[in-house]
Structure 1
Amino acid sequence: MARHSALRSSDSMTADRPTFTTATGGQFVLIEPGTFAMGCDSHGASPCESPIREVEISEPYFIAMRPVTQAEWVLTMKSNPSKFTVGLESGLRPVESISWFECIEYIAHLNENGVSEYLGIDGRFRLPSEAEWEYAARAGTSSPWSFEGSDRNLSEHGWHAGNSAATTQMVGQKTANPWGIFDFHGLVREWCLDLWHDDYLGAPTDQSPWLEGGISNLRVHRGGSWFHESFSTRSSARSKSSATHTSDGLGLRLVWAPI
């Protein structure tokens, strides 16, 4: 699928990072290993974001440069659960109103041949772990948002309650983060692999999803959405829902992990 002319390009930001495009139009960029401080304990942050800990990303992975669109979902699932489907551009809006279990089913279809090959490497699609999500969202920054420490310019970087016109918008319309990835701050919250824990005490210090303990029927999502205020769109902000829950502000972003 060719890139739609309305989608912003992040070629200059990803010039030194390998990328690939899937048959259904998803664009992925390499996230290289590194370490970062995960979480936030500053005044006003939610207790669930602490304690801050250093996390090591030891294995490279590719993350989608945009949330999964309605068009991508329909090509695989042959149906569209989304609320916001009106207009010629609706296929380029993020798919939403999908549960965590439906995300897992979608990914199973993508992996139905076992592995896929891109750039001469074998790998599989999956949801990101919380650590992988935040590492890519921060893109080397330590500020509350990937662009700066205040929400003054949030509308240049994401869709939120103050600028969304009470609806989703097409993916990739706002300014990308420093690693060339779009829509981490708002638009739709994005499911992660991890079980919900009320704080980070005992959390993994690597990129693996936290699947021990926790609340078995609750899964993490990240990023805030079109109906959230700025606080919920910060890089460290966390939220949760039952794995069966759906919302018109809840979608997904894929990871493709080499094996």
Structure 2
Amino acid sequence: MWKAKAATFHREDEMTRSIRPLILTGVLIAIFLTSRSQALGDDRDSKQRALFETFLSEFVSIRPGEEGFPDSLKVESLPPDDVQETRTVIIPFTKPFQISKYEVYQDLYEAVMGENPSRWKGPRNSAERMSHGDAMEFCSRLTTILREEELIGETQVVRLPTEMEWLYCARGGTETAYSFGDNPRLESDSGVQASRLDDYAWHTGNAAGNDPAVGVLKPNPFGLYDIHGYLWEYCFDDWSKEFPGGRTAQDDLFRSSNSTEATIRGGSWKDPYPLLKVTSRKPFPKTSGDDAVGFRCVLVGASAK
């Protein structure tokens, strides 16, 4: 009996010795894979944080009333009835805010939303083909992320610009049809050509698609790129034919309980030069997307830093 048990123990001991290296190897592999996964996760987190830091570094501070920044916006009122005459409305600007130099680009959009709906792919190309609701959701998610990363204060918010904020920034302190002057063309231009505009904007006269990266052309006087053309840009406001309507302040919004249309401004690469004026605006279905429609962000609220 004792010899039989001893033989059994001996066989089990040999088996243990034979599989011990396999167990050790498995443990080492598991440790390696776990460490590698953590390293990849840390690297991915580090790259995303760097992306968010870059995004925040690309904002321009708008300080109404200070040098170079008007304390009001002159708007030619668009009445709801075409029979009525237009009139000039003065909108006071008193609150500082920040606006992105660039339209939201694709690697940033994908980092926040987990997808890239754009037709014209490129990490620094403007993101397009999202709905107005998607753009609003992007801003909400990004606000949460930036607060969690302690990159912005708890009272700061990333959102779409109001129509008033967008127009103020697009003008860049000017009162001309375009931020660089009234005439987008040279005498030698014909058809859709607009040689002066070419320095600042992508439009039907110089673009075959939404291929370029953001910021390739010249900025407006406030340092904003692609504010004319490239992509139509979503505003926070619902669409209203009457503009500015009852809005009397820079952050006043038009809201309609039954609105199905958002406001887009600025023209795009699909449009001829007259539609790239700073006053250019039109309605766009809230649930739709297009490869000529994107957005840029503003940052509002006091910083805790």
Residue 71 of structure 1: SS of its match in structure 2? Answer: helix
Alpha-carbon distance, 1:58 to partner: 1.6
Residue 134 of structure 1: SS of its match in structure 2? Answer: helix
Q: Is the 8 A contact 1:100 1:191 kept in 2?
A: yes
Q: Does residue 260 of structure 2 align to residue 231 of structure 1? A: no
- Inter-CA distance 256–201: structure 2 relative to 1 (3 Å threshold): closer
Looking at structure 2, the residues matched to 190 and 119 of structure 1 have their Cα atoms a distance apart, in angstroms, of 24
Map 1:129-144; keep pairs closer than 5 Å: 129-144=162-177
Residue in 2 that maps onto 1:219: 262
- CA-to-aligned-CA distance 1:88-110 (integer Å, 9 cap, x gap): xx111100001100011111111
Looking at structure 2, the residues matched to 36 and 47 of structure 1 have their Cα atoms a distance apart, in angstroms, of 25
Q: Is the 8 A contact 2:147 2:153 kept in 1?
A: no
1:75 to 98, 111, 120: 111
User: Letter of the aligned partner of 2:286 in structure 1?
Assistant: A
Alpha-carbon distance, 1:253 to partner: 0.3
Q: Does residue 204 of structure 2 align to residue 204 of structure 1? A: no
Q: Does residue 143 of structure 2 align to residue 111 of structure 1? A: yes
Looking at structure 2, the residues matched to 80 and 48 of structure 1 have their Cα atoms a distance apart, in angstroms, of 44
Q: Does residue 68 of structure 2 align to residue 32 of structure 1? A: no
Q: Does residue 126 of structure 2 align to residue 94 of structure 1? A: yes
Looking at structure 2, the residues matched to 200 and 155 of structure 1 have their Cα atoms a distance apart, in angstroms, of 29
Q: Percent identity?
A: 29
- Inter-CA distance 51–247: structure 2 relative to 1 (3 Å threshold): farther
Looking at structure 2, the residues matched to 48 and 30 of structure 1 have their Cα atoms a distance apart, in angstroms, of 37
1:56 to 92, 101, 122: 92
1:23 to 44, 53, 77: 53
- CA-to-aligned-CA distance 1:104-126 (integer Å, 9 cap, x gap): 11111112258476687951100
Task: Output the TM-score relative to the length of structure 2.
Answer: 0.69
Q: Does residue 157 of structure 2 align to residue 124 of structure 1? A: yes
Greater C-alpha radius of gyration: 2
- CA-to-aligned-CA distance 1:39-64 (integer Å, 9 cap, x gap): 478xxxx9999543111122111000
- Inter-CA distance 245–209: structure 2 relative to 1 (3 Å threshold): farther
Map 1:131-210; keep pairs closer than 5 Å: 131-152=164-185, 153-200=196-243, 202-210=245-253
Residue in 1 that maps onto 2:48: none
Q: Is the 8 A contact 1:191 1:220 kept in 2?
A: yes
Q: Does residue 292 of structure 2 align to residue 249 of structure 1? A: yes
**Structure 2: which 5+ runs fail to align?**
1-50, 65-70, 186-195
Alpha-carbon distance, 1:208 to partner: 2.0
**Structure 1: which 5+ runs fail to align?**
1-20
Residue in 1 that maps onto 2:188: none
User: Letter of the aligned partner of 1:133 in structure 2?
Assistant: W
Q: Is the 8 A contact 1:49 1:238 kept in 2?
A: no
Identify which of structures 1 and 2 has the higher relative contact order when contacts are C-alpha pairs closer than 8 Å and 6+ apart.
1
Residue 53 of structure 1: SS of its match in structure 2? Answer: strand
Looking at structure 2, the residues matched to 245 and 119 of structure 1 have their Cα atoms a distance apart, in angstroms, of 31
Alpha-carbon distance, 1:74 to partner: 1.1
User: Letter of the aligned partner of 2:262 in structure 1?
Assistant: R
Task: Output the TM-score relative to the length of structure 1.
Answer: 0.81
Tell me whether 24-33 or 243-252 shows the greater mean CA deviation.
24-33
Q: Is the 8 A contact 1:139 1:179 kept in 2?
A: yes
- CA-to-aligned-CA distance 1:65-99 (integer Å, 9 cap, x gap): 010000111111121000011xxxx1111000011
Alpha-carbon distance, 1:165 to partner: 1.8
More helix by share: 2
Looking at structure 1, the residues matched to 74 and 180 of structure 2 have their Cα atoms a distance apart, in angstroms, of 17
Q: Is the 8 A contact 2:237 2:255 kept in 1?
A: no
Looking at structure 1, the residues matched to 127 and 248 of structure 2 have their Cα atoms a distance apart, in angstroms, of 31
Looking at structure 1, the residues matched to 244 and 152 of structure 2 have their Cα atoms a distance apart, in angstroms, of 38
Looking at structure 1, the residues matched to 75 and 137 of structure 2 have their Cα atoms a distance apart, in angstroms, of 29
Query: Cα RMSD between the aligned structures?
Result: 2.6
Looking at structure 1, the residues matched to 216 and 162 of structure 2 have their Cα atoms a distance apart, in angstroms, of 25
